[in-house]
Chains A and B, each alone.
Chain A
Amino acid sequence: MSSTPVPAAASTVDASPAPAGKLSRARIVWSIAGRDLRSHLFGLSLYVVVALVLLGISHFAVRNALWQVDQNGLMVLGNPINYPFFLALWLSAVYLGLMAAVAIARERDNGTLEVLFYGPVDSLSYLLGKFVQPMISFVVVAAFYLAYFAASAWYTNLGFTGGIVQLLVLALVLTGCVVAFGLAISAMSRRVFLAVIGFLGLMLLFTLFSVAQAVLLAIPAERLTDVLALARTLVDSVQRGLQWLSPLAYFSRGSAALLIGEWQDYLIAVGSSLVYTAVLVALAVFAFQRKGVRR
């Protein structure tokens, strides 16, 4: 328990004076997002993560594709830059989601959240602020990625995808989904390590099942044993169960629709991602109100 006297108002969220109108709330959201954004963009961690992701992509994906072509003399590939690009976006979305997952739990854990709510801040404006900041950070990250992949595609002649604008829109809503997921986890957790374990555990689960499905589907029928067939059936069933839970599934649906030019499916993927984000932000607000601002 804190030894400092706490007014009754601070013991429950939203008991503080409500923001005066939309402009006031927008200003509060921007103020919270701006404060976090400054510390994020003026720090080094974001740039280190982006650099490491790109270095990994260069070494393991782009170089590997070039090596394969060199070894085989001729290869038929779907755009080899697309998958690394998607991987980079996914990794950065997870990183930003993790930052969001840590944010609330850490501030609650440090006791700074309680102080914040003595001002004209309510749970919605606070969470929206926490949501907006990673989204703006993503724009910065995406700019770096775009520059790197365009340069790599041009230099190696591996080519880059068409419909880059649509893909970036998809990546933005994917990040929204992951950040909202992180916020919901964070709002439910009283401790930072619980938020981190919960968020990373679920993201790892989504990723593993997605990768496992791709690997199992690549096995030719003549090499499919009973056990592999069972594994493939189970993984496919789980994947279909996760298709409305995993942000990765939303992105996969959207990128598949983009690939085959199914605009209706693409718009459905974007729309459903936005709904998913809104639901999770609402869940985060609800959980935040239930948990309160105290440690």
Chain B
Amino acid sequence: MMRAVRRDKDKALVARGLALALAGLAVLSGIGAVGTPAARAAEPVKERQVVYGITPWTGKEYGGTFAPKMVDTLFLSAGDRHILDVLETDVYYWPITQEFMADWMGYRKEIPGKLEVRQDGRVVATLAKQPYTFVYPEGYFGGQVQLATGEEAKKAFAGYQKAIDDYYKAADEYRKAEEAWRAEMSRILDQVQKTGKPADPAKLPKAPEAPQPPKLLVMQPSEGYVIDLPAGRYELRVLDDKGQEVAGTRKRLEVFAARRSGVGYQIIPESKWTVPVEAGDPTQALYVSTEATFYLKAFDAREFNRYAYSRMTELSKPLAGSGQQSAWQWVLGEERQGVKLEVLQDGRVVQTVEPKPYYVQQSPGYALGYKIVDFDPSKPEFEGRQPSFVAYKVHLKLEPGAHFALRLVDKDGRPLPGSGREVRAVRADPLWPLYAWPALPLVAGLGIATWRRRLKPRQILEG
């Protein structure tokens, strides 16, 4: 498959290489440096084109890019549901960000028809446009997104609208109930002031509770081609209602598979919580010096070819993925839920950790600093606040040379494949052995040379 990617890339490489060479020369000769932003940001030349709108599943979210006329190959990951759409719009090149842009607001015309997917000359799928929408169960910033298609999309949106309507109704009722409660409380207060007798607390009306707005967010459904294919090379084209190919819709499609998959971690060191470290590769280990406290978040992780992945997510950028055909990258996807973290020492479980919410408290005053504390919504200091993050807290007291391991287990206690990581405490003191050992080959060499010298005269005498 990658050979196919390379073959395709080689053709584009020459053209891109020339473009890059010119760009490089321009930069080197100072042309790029002297151009003022105002001059660079002049009205671009637009060209009306048939383009593929692409909403790829990046592993974590649905992205957005498009394939202008000059891009002849689309890239999508295997085994994931992606959205394609074919439209006519005005395209221009934006040199500041080095990408093609589409003026969707200025002109946008849907190209009707069916999307035909061919492989080796055979039709493998003919797709009709269908409604789709994105569902965010925890809200837009909640970190989760689901794709709903067909009737499910319509139902999801209807459900969301109902939830919003119900909330507004509840909010309206709350407002009325609160008004009534305030009026009643005013009346009681007036009575207390008139009579001088305190009111019986048991007889005081209970304040109404404000309804919570729904966390759920569902986008207005759109129409597009939902595509999910196994790895391979395909050809795409749109057929009109007469079965004729629509001009400008023929493209190649590379569907690439992950090389490896497993569990990736985002590691938040207690001392640098704003700079989390990602560990996707299961062959990587965590190296610590002495006592270590860190927080882990676990995700699905897949390893993709860097070129193919960049082309999938940023196809409108000609430079995306350039020179990265031989590189691989781990992509952290959705967060793992309902699992526990085990800490092992010498193969024995010494700690089992559940994920918990934590809050980062800034130090008061002018001094910089913070501390990470357990988030407890029942405490008054956390009222109206949200946790900074939810993670597994690991605290290890390590002797130099100590060797621990981490792994995730499901609710039945079964370890999750690819979730194991070593934790090693390094020994950095004293360092003299590291300088002494390299001398050993030299000592051996001198020994052999001396032995050889002693041997020679004896051999001569014997001879």
Contacts and interface: CB of A to CB of B under 8 A. Distances in A.
Interface string A216-256: 11000100111101111111110110000000000000000
A236 B325 contact: yes
Nearest to B281: A78
A54 interface: yes
Interface in B315-345: 319-320, 322-327
B445 interface: yes
A201 B372 CA distance: 55
B106 interface: no
Contacts of A217: 306, 323-324, 327
A96 to B, nearest CB: 15
Contact of B324 (A58, A67, A227, A236): A236
Nearest to A49: B441
A76 B285 contact: yes
A79 interface: yes
Contacts of B289: 69-70, 73-74
A193 to B, nearest CB: 27
A156 B428 contact: yes
A156 B427 contact: yes
Given A74-B277, A148-B437, A157-B401, A230 B285 contact: no
Nearest to B399: A157
Interface stretch (B12-20, B130-138, B170-178, B193-201): B12-20
B288 interface: yes
Contacts of B288: 69, 73-75
Interface string B1-22: 0000010000001001100110
Interface in A63-77: 63, 65-67, 69-70, 72-77
A229 B445 contact: no
B79 to A, nearest CB: 19
A235 B323 contact: yes
B446 interface: yes
Given A74-B294, A230-B23, A47 B424 contact: no
Contacts of B424: 157-159
Contacts of A233: 13, 16-17, 20, 322-323
Contact of A67 (B23, B400, B422, B428): B428
Given A157-B400, A259-B283, A54 B326 contact: no
B275 to A, nearest CB: 10
Contact of B439 (A51, A70, A147, A236): A51
Contact of A144 (B20, B402, B440): B440
B358 to A, nearest CB: 17
Contact of A230 (B17, B98, B327, B442): B17
A235 B28 CA distance: 18
Contacts of B123: none
Interface of A is mostly: helix
A51 B327 contact: no
Interface in B72-94: none
B258 to A, nearest CB: 11
Interface in B18-69: 20-21, 23-24, 26-28, 32
A225 to B, nearest CB: 7
A234 B259 CA distance: 25
A262 to B, nearest CB: 9
Nearest to A69: B287
Q: Is the interface of B mostly helix, strand, loop or mixed?
A: mixed
A226 B16 CA distance: 11
B271 interface: yes
Contact of A157 (B24, B427, B434): B427
A77 B306 CA distance: 19
Interface in A50-91: 50-55, 57-59, 62-63, 65-67, 69-70, 72-80
Contacts of B292: 73-74
Contact of A240 (B284, B326, B428): B326
A136 to B, nearest CB: 15
Given A76-B286, A157-B401, A237-B13, A224 B431 contact: no
A51 B24 contact: no
Contacts of B259: 260
Contacts of B355: none
B269 A152 contact: no
B403 interface: yes
B444 interface: yes
B260 A76 contact: no
The interface centre, meaning the residue of A77, A226, A236 with most chain B CB atoms within 10 A of its CB, is A226
Contacts of B286: 74-76
A74 B269 contact: yes
A260 B302 CA distance: 13
Contact of A47 (B13, B326, B441): B441
B263 interface: no
A43 interface: yes
Contacts of A260: 259-260
B1 to A, nearest CB: 14
Contacts of B320: 221
A283 to B, nearest CB: 27
A46 interface: yes
- The residue in A58, A74, A148 that gathers the most chain B C-beta atoms within 10 A of its C-beta is A74
A151 interface: yes
B285 A79 contact: yes
B101 interface: no
B267 interface: yes
A82 B265 CA distance: 22
Contact of B426 (A47, A59, A157): A157
A116 B320 CA distance: 60
Contact of A54 (B32, B323, B438): B438
Which 7 A-B residue pairings sit nearest by Cβ, starting from the closest?
Answer: A47-B445, A232-B323, A54-B438, A236-B323, A230-B20, A66-B428, A226-B23
28 contacts: A47-B442, A53-B438, A55-B438, A63-B434, A69-B288, A74-B269, A76-B267, A76-B287, A78-B283, A79-B285, A144-B444, A148-B437, A152-B434, A156-B434, A157-B403, A158-B424, A159-B422, A213-B326, A217-B327, A221-B320, A226-B27, A226-B319, A227-B28, A229-B323, A230-B17, A231-B323, A232-B322, A233-B20
Given A158-B424, A229-B319, A240-B326, 18 more contacts: A50-B442, A52-B438, A59-B435, A63-B434, A65-B287, A73-B271, A74-B269, A74-B294, A76-B284, A77-B284, A77-B285, A77-B287, A79-B285, A157-B427, A234-B323, A236-B323, A237-B17, A239-B326
